[in-house]
Structure 1
Amino acid sequence: MESKNVPEVAELLEDSPKNWGKWGSDDEVGSLNYLTQAEVLRGVASVRSGKTFTLQIQMGHPKGDPVWPGRSQARRINVMDKGHYMCGKGPLFPGLAEYADDMMIMYLQGSTQYDALGHVWYDDQLWNGYDAKSTIGGLDKASVLPIAERGVVGRGVLIDMARHRGKDVLDPGETFTHEDLLAAAKAQGVSIEKRDILVIRTGWIGSFYERDQAKFYENFVEPGLTHSRELVDWFHKMEIPNLVTDTIANEVTVDPVSGVALPLHNALMRNLGVTLTEIAQLDPLAADCAEDGQWSFLYTAAPLKVVGGSGAPVNPVVVK
């Protein structure tokens, strides 16, 4: 599709539903408001064995870290180690204890991370109608901080689209809809329930470590959900608080019908307040779910409390 035929996001989403004002004019966490104490207890009730899984990718991996094209990968730098003491430059403490210290330079969205609700917008308005000018110099409204202060706890359900389609990893640009999710859930013997934290595996992030990086990023188009009014209405009706995937952007990079890049970031996050969690490592969890047949669990997460941040790293913990 030629760019001249691609509609603006505002046109594509002209009649798309919004949750603006539903939780007040000052709300900054959106659909996470659905995760009431009752929903937390529903998540706790899904715990059976006590097995735990962490979903963050490793930071500073020897093979590199998967990041959105154009972003730099995380760099860890030693600032103090045994070498400093060997050359006589290490600080001396009473008792002669020595230590190592280091720092990391990275994009806040350069690892497994939560998007702030104000991360993406159109028509100069963020989630809940906040002015886009409030992002200048840091997000004054709808930053990642309110999400981090609140935390995310509820019943999670894993839908393994790659396994459902008989693949280790979905193909570049391969799409699926909410109807595909429901079909996969039925095949897995699990139900997607109202207010579930929806976790979707494509195999994409796991495949990063098995591929040549140049080939991984070549003509970069990720697999993922594709936009439709029906899909957005389904998220709205199901009151999905949080979408978690093992891709860098949670949706197919360019919508194959409209040609718009990442329309669900606006339709779901900006308009409905659905929190997006990206770059999750879901392969070990999926393998265990396939083995024991339990696809629902307690999902917990809290991104770092970055003041004004458009996102922040996170290491979600799942308890089965």
Structure 2
Amino acid sequence: MSARPTVSREEFDALFEAVRTWGRWDRADRGAWNRVTGDHVRRAVGVVRSGVVVPMALPWNTRSGPDNRKPALHHMTDLGDVEGPEPTTHKDFIAADYHGKGVTHLDALSHIAYAGLLYDGRPARENVDAAGARFGAVAALGPLVTRGVLLDLPAVLGVPWLEPGHPVRAGDVRAAEEALGVTIGEGDAVLLRSGHVRRRAELGAWDPATASAGFHVDAVPLLAERGVALLGGDGDSDVRPSPVEGVHSPVHALAVAAMGVPLLDNLDLEALAGATAEAGRYEFLLVVAPLNVPGGTGSPVNPVAVL
């Protein structure tokens, strides 16, 4: 299904204004995460039944490919041959330019600006420089614990995966809620499974920057109305090619810059899809612990679902 541009820039700007939440919270650097209170966390813990724990991070990928233009780094720095008393040690080094397609990561509010403005109308040039972000940094979010909801669109449609370029629209979200017996609520984390990881495993890698399944912008008002606090998927939430002329990542702009909703990119949702199908329920406790990087625009993460 094509996702060729169908939304004008003027229509997109009007949508941006309609969903933005600037000025709503005193802790603006936390954005929509302000919705998640202690009571919400306790309710999220209450959905745990079996105790099955499902990690959702991709393997640390050090191999170059069409979907990994900047491979992560991993090398050993100590192989037990350093002189000294027992015991000997083995140490390694890791690094990643993680805002891409190859690393599972969290986008903080400082990651995206639209028309030169970060979330809450903060000028990007005044708040992000070579030293990092002074507003909307990942450290302001801290650990994220809430109820997660999986929208498994291939399961709903009876297909192994959505083809790259397939847009998930508002009607698809409602149909998935009905079919899966789950309703998105305030403070929830919504995870979209397109089957990206399964398609890559069976057919090989492609460049998801040019073609990937994801949310169409017309799904965003529904997510805004429900009051979501976190959005993620096995792609980067945006359908590509973009349906908005001149805006390459419109869902990023709407979620992060307008609504203050952090994003989880490049999840592996295959094990979670199997676990939720077996359990017959598509809600779970979600735990995301980003690295405490002062000024960071995000962080590599290994999100965990607990059923």
Give me the TM-score of the superposition, normalised by structure 1: 0.85
Describe how 1:257-296 pairs up with structure 2 within 5 A: 258=245, 260-296=247-283
Q: Structure 1 counterpart of 2:50, which letter?
A: S
Contact 1:8/1:260 (CA < 8 Å) preserved in 2? no
Query: Does residue 178 of structure 1 match 2:166?
Result: no
Contact 1:157–1:196 (CA under 8 A) maintained in structure 2: yes
Deviation, structure 1 residue 192 = 2.2
Instruction: Say if 1:65 and 1:111, in contact at 8 Å, map to a contact too.
Output: no
CA distance in 1, matches of 2:208, 2:189: 32
1-structure distance, mates of 2:66, 2:55: 19
Quick one: which of 66, 88, 100 aligns to 2:90? 100
Query: 1:76 maps to which residue?
Result: 74
After superposition, residues 147-166 of structure 1 pair within 5 angstroms as: 147=141, 149=142, 151-166=143-158
Give, in angstroms, the shift of residue 100 of structure 1.
1.4
State the distance in 2 between where 1:199 and 1:209 align: 20
Mapped to 2, the partners of 1:111 and 1:305 lie a distance apart of: 17
Partner amino acid for 2:38? Q
Q: Specify the alignment match of 2:159 in structure 1.
A: 167
Could you tell me which of 124, 133, 136 is aligned with 1:142?
136
Please give the alpha-carbon distance, in whole angstroms, between the structure 2 residues aligned to 1:46 and 1:318: 11
State the identity %. Answer: 29
Contact residue 59 and residue 65 of structure 1 kept, 8 A: no
Change (3 A) 1:10 1:182: closer
Q: Which runs of 5+ in 2 are unaligned?
A: none
Change (3 A) 1:53 1:13: same
Code of the residue aligned with 1:55 in structure 2: it is: M
Tell me the distance in 1 between the aligned counterparts of 2:244 and 2:106.
27
Matched, 1:51 2:52: yes
Cα distance in 2 for residues equivalent to 1:232 and 1:115: 17
| 1:111 aligned residue | 103
The residue aligned with 1:187 is: 179
The verdict on how the C-alpha distance between 1:243 and 1:219 changes in structure 2, with shifts beyond 3 A counting, is closer
- Residue 256 of structure 1 and its aligned partner are, at CA, apart by 2.8
* In 1: Cα distance, 2:112 partner to 2:66 partner: 17
Could you say which residue in structure 1 is the equivalent of 2:225?
Answer: 237
CA distance in 2, matches of 1:122, 1:268: 11
Structure 2 CA distance for aligned equivalents of residues 55 and 317 of structure 1: 6
Q: Deviations over 1:44-83 (max 9, x none)?
A: 111111111111111136xx488866x401121112225x
The structural deviation recorded for 1:210 is 3.6
Q: Distance in 2 between matches of 1:307 and 1:181?
A: 36
Residue type of the alignment partner of 2:213: P
- The 1:122–1:286 alpha-carbon spacing in structure 2 relative to 1, beyond 3 Å, is same
Asked whether the equivalents of residues 297 and 319 of structure 1 are also in contact (C-alpha less than 8 Å), the reply is yes
> Relative to 1, partners in 2 of residues 1:189 and 1:13: Cα closer, same or farther, differing over 3 Å?
closer
Deviations 1:118-147 (A, max 9, x none): 211122210111111121111111111211
Secondary structure of residue in 2 paired with 1:251: coil
- Answer yes or no: is the 8 Å Cα contact 2:118–2:257 preserved in 1: yes
Structure with the greater alpha carbon radius of gyration: 1
Across the two proteins, how many residue pairs are aligned to each other? 300
Instruction: State the Cα distance separating 1:241 from its structure 2 match.
Output: 0.2
Please say if residues 246 and 280 of structure 1, whose CA atoms lie closer than 8 Å, have aligned partners that are also in contact: yes
8 Å contact kept, 1:6–1:260: no
